[in-house]
Structure 1
């Protein structure tokens, strides 16, 4: 069955090729025939035209002279100026060289004009008045209170011995207003009273501290006296 199918397919291909060749031949014949007919019709329509050349002009009669030539104005050439004379300069003079070259001239001294005087300076403002000074010395602060405290702390041994007297002292008052140093300048005659006076002043005395000009507290030295009396 397969062999029969292959044989039929080959026969079909051969038949298709033959039919295609027949169509090509018919088309070629039609094309060439139509072209030939069109060429014949074109030839019939073309007409031939004979072109004849015009006859040459007759020659002129022998007795007639030729026409005169037109008058052409003659141009006069412009005058040519002679070339200017050439002056040949004589040979330049010989150059003389100096063996000694003189020194160059000193430059001219130019003195500038004096500068105009400066305007006077404005007067200085008067100095500001000094600030009032705040300086002061140390002064006792509530002296009656601390003097009673010193008297109430009468040295016991001097009290039993019945000793009385006045003790003169020099005190160094610090910036905090308290006694920082005490020295006896005038003795009472009793060593117990003298030492008791300095001890009491260091313990109870209060002062307003001394001030400098700006009002700052400073250290100062004062003198005072402590009087001991038995009532």
Structure 2
């Protein structure tokens, strides 16, 4: 026999073995399954639960008896009135106590008066000072005398110079006299005022320069 035939015979034999093994194992599995079903399938009759009777409900609580109320004590309406005492003389009246009234408040103090006082103020000083210097004494001009005179004047309520004195001499009697004379003739002022605003006398000082051109 050739080798190919031998291989074919072996293959055919193996196929038959496999088919036989499958048939055998299949029949054995079916038989085993049927046996297990017979063994495990058992009808078990469960007993029915017994019915227990519920106890009867407790009787309702009886309401407590109402409290005993004692009757109120009797009221004696017939009360004897108090005795009335008769007095021959009435009692003296109660003393009258005077009520002290507070003193009225003091009137407010009047506001302090505003003072209207002021000092002397020159009026048109540049104009009358120029007129004093224009009246240069002739003797001083001829002698070529120059100097500065300090004067202190008293200004009256009318604004004019009432008195004049030399507070600082120029060294020349001619210039000193001319300075006071010119102040009394030409100088004018707004007079000083007192606290009530009335014109009054006051002092004022200045210096007059005499210089030749």
TM-score range, shorter chain: 0.5 to 0.7
Q: Which moves more between the two structures, 189-198 or 157-166?
A: 157-166
| Map 1:1-231 → 2, pairs under 5 A | 116=98, 118-231=100-213
**C-alpha separation between the residues in 2 aligned to 1:114 and 1:147?**
87
SS at match of 1:130: coil
- Pick closer, same or farther for the CA change 1:118–1:162 going to 2, 3 Å: farther
Q: Residue 30 of structure 2 aligns with which residue?
A: none
Structure 1 window deviating more from structure 2 (164-173 vs 194-203): it is 164-173
Q: TM-score, normalised by structure 1?
A: 0.49
Unaligned runs of 5+ in 2: 1-94
**Would the alpha carbon gap of residues 122 and 143 (structure 1) be closer, same or farther in structure 2, given more than 3 Å must change?**
same
In the TM superposition, what whole-angstrom CA distance separates every residue of 1:116-156 from its partner, at most 9, and x where no partner exists? 47423222232222232110011100000000000000011
Within 1, Cα distance between the matches of 2:175 and 2:104? 70
Q: Which runs of 4+ in 1 moved over 2 A?
A: 113-120
3-state SS in 1 of match to 2:174: helix
Change (3 A) 1:163 1:131: same
Alpha-carbon separation, structure 1, partners of 2:101 and 2:187: 66
Aligned residues: 119
Gaps of 5+ in 1: 1-112
TM-score, normalization by structure 2: 0.53
